[in-house]
Amino acid sequence: MKPMLPSLTFENPERSNWLYEVKYDGFRAIIDWNSKGIKLTSRNGKDLFPQFPEIKAFLLQHEEQFKSFLPLQLDGELVFLENTHKATFSAIQVRGRLKSEKKITEQSTSNPCRLMVFDLLMLKGNPLYLLEYYKRKEELHKLFQAIGLELDADPYNNQLLQYVTAYEDFNDLWGKVVLYDGEGIIAKDKNSQWDEGKRTLQWLKYKNWKYVSCFIIAFEKTNGYFYVGVYKEKEIHPIGQVLFGFTPEEKNALKETVKINMVKEDNQFIYVEPAICLEVKYLELYENQLREPHFHRFQFDIEPLDCTYDRFIFGQKNLPADLEITHPDKPLWNQLSIQKADYILYLREISPYMLPFLKNRLLTVIRYPHGMYGEAFYQKNCPDYAPEFVETQVADGIDYIVCNNLKTLVWLGNQLAIEYHIPFQTIKSKGPSEIVFDLDPPSKDAFPLAIKAARYIKEILDQLNLIGFIKTSGNKGLQIYLPLPENVYSYEDTRLFTSFMAEYLLSKDPDSFTIERMKKNREKRLYIDYIQHSEGKTIVAPYSVRGNEHAGVATPLYWEEVDENLHPVLFNMENALKRIRNQGDPFQEYFQSKQIQSFAPVLDFLKKTKKG
């Protein structure tokens, strides 16, 4: 069966009575499952199971649940899922080219691919092609629920068949696709029928293009491609070739210009010196070539020397186009080879995981205008020169920045705001949004005290059926979070719990812990600061970098990592992103857990005890 195909559009596809899905970048695949067996077939009719045996294994594991729905036909995209909104094209290409059965087996176990299912074509032997798209989608949703499969995309769970959600709000989904650096969106007419083998205008693909300023270096006579490059350390660095996007008039004029200004010619190419600057849009850099390049516009207002590799790298990360990054090569750390460009790109990559914790919070930043080489200062008030897109909120006479989007985060990064500190509540909350225990040992060498305290707290949380999350402080301590539902509890309520936990730790090991506020009286014990959790106080945000010598990051951890091998110096800017890609985000379920946090019974007990 040939799949129905979307048409490419460069125009915003937002329309009434349409729905929107993430466009995942992989291999189109259709599952046929009947009494004769299961097939997973590519759009070209190729059997995909030999290359991707993990999908078949997953389906067979759930054969009993599927049995009553057969014969069944599902339409989807076979992908290597990087995050909830992005699949990695290069990874699926590598998997698709493997020849060795041993390597295929190894990869299918260690790095399994997933089938992102977006359409249901047959159910219980009944063809659904003539049903409207939204009705097929409803049936697909019911099927996933009936089988007991999760409905949210997740690159870290063991579910290799995943549901692709349809959004009614284009801008809601587009914002997420841009934030997670996804490939784009498929827009679908709610009433469209499934039309086999047709490229239709009722499905539109709208891509999340990157843009690069580059110059022409050659013209290929045999096929009409223009080869483009940028300057890398004063040398011409080729980045690919472009054919599409020109009008016939533009293409002919450009070809003649190249001929007139050629410096040499051979049987295949006409070569020119860098002079003609273009802006080219593309999806990504794949095997050192622009993928799906399209001519966007001529750039007569810039010189070839402005077309640099550094700007090209920034373009790959899809930074806000109208936001200038100043002095990208500025060194920031004394002992580490981290430049400003590296820090900005860290913020871009970490933004999907960090921004939810900054959202609607009054932000205090610590800025290092000269990196670690100069003085730092706290900034609470939004400066007068801040752009209009920076949101603010006045509280206690201070006009705080509220960092609700990627553009503001990158702008702050360009201002060399290194540390991000937030209060325990949002601007919309009455009372705390979480409880946080800050376990700050007296020195780095005393870090085992923080580990000991964290383990004792975890024991109590488990006994009380409370959900806790843990992260490093980025310096020398650990911090434990208990998410709370919004607008339910007061700081007076949470103080009962924090003081109870402090007293418990003190009774458990008085030689290791103290609630003594005077530093000189603490000796070498860890101070349990239960008073710190109060209105107006702040704590460093998850994934914020710290202004210390090892570029520490306030890194979310899995509880099983909290053992004697844990050391805070292990978690820094250079490996934070690698951790997420390899292990996932330990705080992924943080906000969902707010509604199921069983804090009320614990608080009722503490209140009764206090009265008693």
Both structure tokens of 91:
């990874």
Active-site residue, 407 included = no
Both structure tokens of 193:
């029928």
Pairing of strands 72-79, 210-220: unpaired
What is the Cα–Cα distance from 585 to 578, expressed in whole angstroms?
A: 11
3-state secondary structure 195-213: CCCCEEEEEEEEECCEEEE
SS3 186: strand
3-state secondary structure 508-569: HCCCCEECCCCHHHCCCCEEECCCCCCCCCEEECCCCECCCCCCEECCEECHHHCCCCCCHH
Sign of CA dihedral 500, 503, 507, 509: positive
Catalytic residue among 23, 86, 137, 476: 23
Bridge-partner residues for 229, per DSSP?
Answer: 215, 238
Beta carbons of 354 and 572 less than 8 angstroms apart: no
Which run of H or E residues covers position 121? strand 114-123
Contacts of 381 (CB under 8 A, 6+ apart): 398, 399, 400
What is the Cα–Cα distance from 258 to 232, expressed in whole angstroms?
A: 23
Distances 27 to 96, 185, 441, 445, 589 between C-alpha atoms, Å: 9, 16, 51, 51, 29
Instruction: Cite the active site residues.
Output: 23
